[in-house]
Structure 1
Amino acid sequence: MATEPSNIIAGIDTHADTHHVAIINEHGKPLADREFLAVGSGYRKIVDFITSHGTVTAVGVEGTGSYGAELSRVLRGEGLLVLEVNRPNRAARRTEGKSDPLDAYQAAQSVLDGRTTSIPKAKDGPVECLRILRAGRASAMKARTAAVNQIKGLLVSAPDRLRAKYRGLGTAAMITSLHRTRPSGHMADPEYVCLLTLKALASRCHSLAAEIAAADAALQEILDSYAPMLCDLPGVGTEVASQLLVTVGDNPDRIGNEAQFAALVGVAPIPASSGKTTRHRLSRGGDRNANHALYQVVLVRMASCQRTKDYVVKRTAEGKSKREIMRCLKRYAAREIYRQITNPQAAPDNTDLRQLRNTLGCTITTAASELGQWPSKISLLERGLLRNDTLATNYRQWLTNQTDKKDRPDKEAIPIQSVYI
């Protein structure tokens, strides 16, 4: 009588050159373990080795974002459930020691115990392209900052003729001016060598600036095709949108709800109550880069969004500190961004505003003055380059009132309250 294949769980300890695979059954009994090369043929052998022992329930992999990235892609391609193992069981490591087989068995055991439930990022789509571009852009920005600091440091001790010529200039003008210089002299002249080095550093800054601009253009191109409506949200630009998408990954379905997203970006409220004090504090977990991106969103909204300003005034009157108010605002922003990522909503179409204004024979300056806005902001709104739903609603209402007043001179237009957003 043939026995039915048992359910098994695999654990993999990944390294740069080799991966160690261990297999346990559904009751936690060790079945087999083996080491494989971290190459294409080794990945195929790992799949054959795992599937030959029974029905695979899940595979726990350490380092799915580094050494185990390609292996995770191969396993997912074979239809296997891959879970990310964060860290070995330290208590077991202290009592049983450490080795590659032990770490692999611990990875499998953590899946069986339910301690490993995270689905890793897919790393096979446009979001992975965003991550790679951002990595190159970040290093270019650091190198440009270092070059600018070196230029300013050299000018401090440079001969007076050089200091007098360049120290009064702004950073951008100084870099451009140094880049255009044509030093002449001999290598034993400190002034000539100093100017030669300054020109080389300035040329490096120009090259890095072009590299950063090319990365920004590539990021915007991917966002326009992959998540065009994310940047429609107030305070969300290319930098913020790309970072948040990188945090989520190419498979946003791995995040079950907005509470999990809030924990992922480090804005989940943490209870900090004691005795008669009931409060929550800022979370210090999650992706700190994503948390910083949300911080930038909140700063922009606190400076330019009337609804956010009103909220700050209200919570300040309630005795909340600025830090507590920003914690709440980051949580609200995370909720809005999560909904836009998982269920994109297009911005309202405001292209009819300019036509309505032209029909009335009204200038953009007059409309901006009536609404208490700058003409440039009204122009951006009319061309669909700015999303401000409150301003668009008030603008449309004002145009409608003016149309009614024009059609019925005996009826006064309803005054509209200026909104500063």
Structure 2
Amino acid sequence: MVVFGIDAHKRNHTAVAVDDRGRKLGERTTGTTSGDHLRLLTWAKRWGDDRLWAIEDCRQLSRRLARDLLAAGERIVRVPPKLMANCRSSARTYGKSNPIDALAVARAALREPDLPTASLDGDTRELRLLVDHRDDLVAERTRAINRLRWHLHELDPTLDPPARCLIPAKHLNTLTARLAEADGTVARLARHLLERCRYLTLEIRSLEEEIQVLVSEAAPSLMNIPGCGALNAAKILGETAGIARFRSKSAYARHNGTAPLPVWSGNRERHRLARTGNRQLNAALHRIAITQAHYHPDARAYLQRRKEAGNTSTEAIRALRRRLSDVVYRALLSDAHILNDRSSLQQAA
């Protein structure tokens, strides 16, 4: 088998071919259009039909390449960037370049047998794009509100709306009426920021309604988990990007950073918090854990047992988060089976 490591960039991709022992067979730099990818595939066929493509896991740069290769029936694995660093440091060559990085990607794919395989984007990517866009709009609205507060303070120090009062329409209407008679550049900018906040709020709510509909159809089991709302479920679906690519619940826990790391080398077995993994997924699980810690009887009873066993509140929440990872994993598997059955029925009809 020949492995082709790909170092992807915006304007070009560098491919390095290695044999099953990691020896370099050739290299090629190509463009990023579909025609360039076809020529790259033609170049790769000179080493036979038993080949594997290893692409560094930076999907904004490599999505078109992966899509074209998958359409041609090729096998692709995604290599996390942290694996490349070890390959570069252990190589006999020094420095950093596109061919060196591509060679490191290929050798990392040879060394690691269970790398995630690439697949065509589905509905989960649409959810991720919508959620990321909503997050950007919320951050933009927060920046606008912060600037507005400074302008209001300059106009009248008594104009100090409480927190979260610059989002509802009635408070924005009240401020607009108070600023209607004010003159000067500061007042004009404040009125502009008020309208900007109003527009962003409407767009955010429209996105939330769209996300609610999509998540209700794609993840009914996930939505049934106590403490998991539509936005949190959409974040989990988008960041997971297909639960089928994880071979077990333990692999999923390691991916989302809830699996503890072993840190012992003697008779006493110890573990510590893992700061690796997908931090967006980890934050989503943490939000569910905090919500259940306040309102869910089973979670509260579990936290109490952990504390009675000697855990601190932080350690108990961390343990609950690990259990929730397994719950989410099973819910995602259930939703995936439901979607597959629904798709099979539609095709049969």
TM-score, length-normalised on structure 2? Answer: 0.86
Question: Counterpart in 1 of 2:345?
Answer: none
Partner of 1:260: 251
2:234 aligned residue (234, 238, 242): 242
Counting matched residue pairs gives: 329
Aligned to 2:46: 52
- The DSSP-based 3-state class of the residue aligned with 2:69 is helix
Conserved? CA contact 1:181–1:199, under 8 Å: no
Q: How does 1:16-415 map to 2 (within 5 A)?
A: 16-87=10-81, 88=84, 89-92=87-90, 95-112=93-110, 114-115=111-112, 117-119=114-116, 122=119, 124-158=121-155, 160=156, 163-164=157-158, 166-167=159-160, 170-171=165-166, 172=168, 173-180=170-177, 183-184=180-181, 191-249=183-241, 251-273=242-264, 278-344=269-335
- Aligned mates of 1:107, 1:271 — CA distance in 2: 27
Distance 2:109 2:253 in 1: 24
Where does structure 2 lack aligned partners over 5 or more consecutive residues?
A: 338-349
Q: CA deviation at 1:276?
A: 7.6
In 2, Cα distance between the equivalents of 1:270 and 1:28?
A: 30
**Structure 1 counterpart of 2:326, one-letter code:** R
Q: Deviations over 1:42-101 (max 9, x none)?
A: 111122222232123311112441211111122222222211223333315684333322
- Over the matched positions of the two proteins, sequence identity in percent amounts to 25
Query: Does the C-alpha gap of structure 1 residues 342 and 168 become closer, same or farther in structure 2, counting only changes over 3 Å?
Result: closer
Q: TM-score, normalised by structure 1?
A: 0.72
> 2-side partners of 1:180 and 1:121: how far apart?
55
**1:27 aligns to what SS in structure 2?**
coil
RCO greater where, 1 or 2, for CA within 8 Å and sep 6 or more? 2
Larger radius of gyration: 1
Q: Distance in 1 between matches of 2:161 and 2:146?
A: 16
The superposition leaves residues 366-403 of structure 1 with CA deviations (integer Å, 9 ceiling, x where unpaired) of xxxxxxxxxxxxxxxxxxxxxxxxxxxxxxxxxxxxxx
Matched position secondary structure for 1:58? strand
Deviation readout 1:114-139 (Å, 9 max, x if unpaired): 23742255361111001111121111
Is the Cα–Cα contact under 8 Å of residues 84 and 117 in structure 1 kept in the other structure?
no
Q: Which amino acid in 2 is paired with 1:65? A: R
C-alpha distance in structure 2 between counterparts of 1:275 and 1:46, whole Å: 52
Give 3-state SS (helix, strand or coil) of 1:66's partner.
helix
Alpha-carbon distance between aligned partners in 1 of 2:45 and 2:227, rounded to the nearest angstrom: 49
Residues 179 and 200, structure 1, Cα contact 8 Å, conserved in 2: no
More helix by share: 2
Structure 1 unaligned spans of 5+? 1-6, 186-190, 347-421
